[in-house]
Amino acid sequence: MLDETIISKAILETYNKKLISCLSLDVAIAGAGPAGIVASYYMARKGLHVAIFERKLSPGGGMWGGGMMFNQIVVQANALGVLDEFDISYKEYQKNYYVADSVEAMSKLLAKATSTGVKIFNCISVEDTVVINNTVKGFVINWSSVGIANLHVDPLTVKSKYAIEATGHPLEVLTVLEKKACAKLKTKTGKIMGEMPMNADKAEKDTIKNTKEIYPGLFVVGMAANAAFGGPRMGPIFGGMLLSGKKAAEMIIKKVGKK
């Protein structure tokens, strides 16, 4: 006989244990899009304690839908190493344009990251940062449903050595940080510069260039990096997202100094 209360207890006890084990992290990531997931994997592979907090029920961000819901993505040659690392299959379309199935790609990013030890908390939004001595030291989190229902419910906090802003186009975490902490960012203007119109070639280069520690303790990756530094958008080509996540991971691994 299966007992319904044991099913509930199993979920509640193990979830609490999982969340409590992530209250103190090496790296906290806001947003489970391709850039955040790739970053999480490369850091977890080196033994860092990493968790991602994702607003939506389904992690994966904007990759599932390919271009305009035609669920294929394009990746350029310099990012094929990341596809190989995640065992994602692809075909050459023409020189320097490779195509992959977006559902396979995202499924495999998620499978490999989670099986390497990354904890992904879906249905949780990052609503603020913890700032101590002008350094980001973690995230303020709440159930996404609290925000959706506009309930006045106080959040909880996770602390981390480093944090990653990976919320994509809306750049939510950095926007709150800039506003609340009157933070001077490491951009040309010291402020969020905003995303520019489509220019795929420039955008893909900029995404990698703009992957930086934008404020002490806070790295910005993926589409959020271009939104922060005034880079353009690129449409459904994902090499920049993948390489941005990898670059941030390498920068943070160096800082944390763990093998």
Positions in the binding site for ligand 48H (CB under 6 A): 30-36, 53-56, 61-63, 125-126, 166-170, 172, 222-224, 233-235, 241
At closest approach, how far in Å is the CB of 9 from ligand 48H? 28
Backbone dihedral angles phi then psi of residue 219, each to the nearest 5 degrees: -100, 150
Per the CB < 8 A criterion, the answer to whether 38 and 82 are in contact is yes
Distance CA 60, CA 8 (A): 27
Q: In what order do the strands lie in the sheet with 97-101?
A: 72-75, 97-101, 91-94
Shortest distance (Å) from residue 189 CB to ligand 48H: 22
Of the pair 236, 258, the CB lying nearest ligand 48H is at 236
Residue with smaller CB distance to ligand 48H, 113 or 234: 234
CB of 37 to ligand 48H, least distance (A): 7
The whole-angstrom distance between residue 57's C-alpha and the CA centroid of its chain comes to 15
Instruction: Give the residue with the Cβ less far from ligand 48H, 141 or 185.
Output: 141
Kindly give the pairing relationship between strand 24-30 and strand 156-165. Answer: parallel
Neighbours of 69 (CB within 10 A): 8
Distance set, CA 231 to CA 67, 143, 251 (Å) = 20, 31, 21
Closest distance to ligand 48H from the beta carbon of 232 (Å): 8
Q: Rounded distance, CA 150 to CA 165, Å?
A: 23
Of the pair 53, 98, the CB lying nearest ligand 48H is at 53
Q: Which residues are 92's β-sheet partners?
A: 98
Q: At residue 103, what are phi and psi to the nearest 5 degrees?
A: -70, -45
Write down the least CB distance from residue 1 to ligand 48H, Å. Answer: 40
Least distance in angstroms from the C-beta of 221 to ligand 48H: 6
User: Cβ closer to ligand 48H: 6 or 68?
Assistant: 68
* Smaller CB separation from ligand 48H, 155 or 258: 155
